[in-house]
Amino acid sequence: MNKNERKALFSFLSIYVGSTVLLLSVLLYIYYNDELEAVADSCSMEMSSASMQIEADILNSYMKHKEYVPKKLENEDIKYALYDKDQKVIFSYLQESQSVDFSKNMYESPNFEFYITKLNEETIPIKYIAIETCIGIDNRNSLKIYVIIKLILSGVFIGLIGFLLARILLKPVREKLDHMDKFIKDSAHELNTPVTVLMTSTSMLKKGKNPDKMMRYILSSSKQISQIYNDIHFSAFNEINEDVFEEFNLSILVKDSVEYFNDISITKKIIINHDLDDCFIQMDKTKTQKLVNNLISNAIKYSHNNSTVNVFIKNNVLSVEDFGIGISELEQKEIFKRYKRGTNIEGGFGIGLDIVKRISEEYKLKLALKSELEVGSVFYVDFSSIIKTSNTNTEKKV
**Series of mean pLDDT values for 10-residue runs along the chain (398 residues):** 74 85 91 90 90 90 86 86 89 77 86 89 88 88 91 90 83 74 65 74 79 78 76 63 83 92 86 95 90 91 92 96 89 72 50 85 92 92 82 39
Separation CA 147–CA 7 (nearest Å): 32
- For position 52, what pLDDT does the model report? 92
Instruction: Give me the amino acid identity at 15.
Output: I
Instruction: Give me the amino acid identity at 297.
Output: S
Bridge partners (DSSP) listed for residue 371: 377
Terminal Cα-to-Cα distance of the chain (whole angstroms):
64
- For position 395, what pLDDT does the model report? 40
- The edge-to-edge listing of strands for the beta sheet with 376-382 is 271-276, 308-314, 317-322, 376-382, 366-372
Length of the chain: 398
- For position 397, what pLDDT does the model report? 33
Separation CA 222–CA 229 (nearest Å): 11
CATH topology classification for 211-397? Heat Shock Protein 90 (3.30.565)
**Residue 382 phi, psi dihedral angles, 5° rounding:** -95, 115
- For position 350, what pLDDT does the model report? 58
Hey, which bits of the chain come out as E strands?
78-83, 89-92, 106-108, 113-118, 128-133, 245-249, 271-276, 280-284, 308-314, 317-322, 366-372, 376-382
- For position 185, what pLDDT does the model report? 66
Tell me which residue of 255, 398, 244 sits closest to 318, measured CA to CA. 255
CB 154 within 8 A of CB 146: no
Q: Where are the chain's structural domains? A: 1-209, 211-397
In degrees, to the nearest 5, what angle opens at C-alpha 237 toward C-alphas 233 and 239?
A: 145
Separation CA 58–CA 70 (nearest Å): 9
- For position 266, what pLDDT does the model report? 83
What DSSP string describes 147-168?
Answer: HHHHHHHHHHHHHHHHHHHHHH
What DSSP string describes 256-311?
Answer: HHHHHHHHHHGGGT-EEEEEE---EEEEEHHHHHHHHHHHHHHHHHTBPTT-EEEE
